[in-house]
Amino acid sequence: MISLDRDTSRLIDEVNAGKVSRESLAAYSWTPQESERLARYFVLARSQFNSVKKIIQFVSGCIILSESASLGGGREVFHSLSAAKDLLDKADEETRSLPVPAGVSRHHQHLLDALSCLREIFRRFVLTEQVLHLKRDQSDQLLYLLKMANESLKSASNFELGLDMVELNSSCACGH
């Protein structure tokens, strides 16, 4: 049998590479304490993961609506940006206080990187009225940061662990 350390190490590699499978999870033999710590981390991380995803979607949606504010999108934009900022503050604080078991620090760092990009967006742009009047170079910067945040989040994503970039439960795409 593979030693516990190697088991954990391999799992962490797989998680970080987004390759962990149900079969590989079942193959590991952890101590109850190790198992508990990892499970706790990923359960708690799921909420932060979903928050980051939601903030990315909020800000992207605001840009889309801001291009057609004449349709009445302005009201939703202001409301959504305010909600996104509140969510960001909460997610940032909770992610930093997550208990991170040894070895999953890279996964945790992906979440922090995504949050860092999003904080930078809110730091650079007064995302209230300004988002309705972005100049081209500003929207380029904003979209670049959004894409960076999305890439970091993708690095932390994993369907097996419930960290899904796309939730398929309400999708016409899931075959089973």
Partner 1 sequence: MKDYSIWVLEYSYVPDYHKSGVIYGAHNEGYVKLPYCYVLIKGKGRTILVDVGFNNKEYGKVLADRFGVKNWQSPKVVLDEVGVKPEDVDTVFVTHAHFDHFGNIEDFPNATFYLQEREISKWMWAMSLPEQFGWLMGAMDPGDIIRGAELARDGRLVLIDGDREDVLPGIDLFAAFDTHTFGSQFVRVKNGETGTEDSWILAGDLVYVFDNAEGRDGDGVYVPVGLASGSQTNLLLATDKMMTLVDRDPTRVIPIHEQRLVERFPSRVSEKGLHIVEITLADGETSKVRQ
Between residue 113 and residue 132, which ones bind partner 1 under the rule CB under 8 A?
Answer: none
- Least distance between partner 1 and beta carbon 54 (Å): 6
- Site for partner 1 contains 135 (CB under 8 A): no
Between residue 149 and residue 168, which ones bind partner 1 under the rule CB under 8 A?
Answer: 150, 153-154, 159, 165-168
DSSP string, 39-87: HHHHHHHHHHHHHHHHHHHHHHHHHHHHTTGGGTHHHHHHHHHHHHHHH
Which CB atom, from 7 or from 162, has the smaller least distance to partner 1?
A: 162
- Site for partner 1 contains 94 (CB under 8 A): no
Quote the distance between the C-alpha of residue 128 and its chain's center. Answer: 23
Three-class secondary structure of residue 50 per DSSP: helix
* Site track 14-33 with partner 1 (rule: CB under 8 A), x = hit: --------------------
- Site for partner 1 contains 174 (CB under 8 A): yes
Backbone angles phi, psi at 67, to 5 degrees: -70, -15
Cβ atoms 90, 80 nearer than 8 A: no
Cβ atoms 89, 123 nearer than 8 A: no
Which CB atom, from 25 or from 143, has the smaller least distance to partner 1?
A: 143
Which CB atom, from 10 or from 46, has the smaller least distance to partner 1?
A: 46
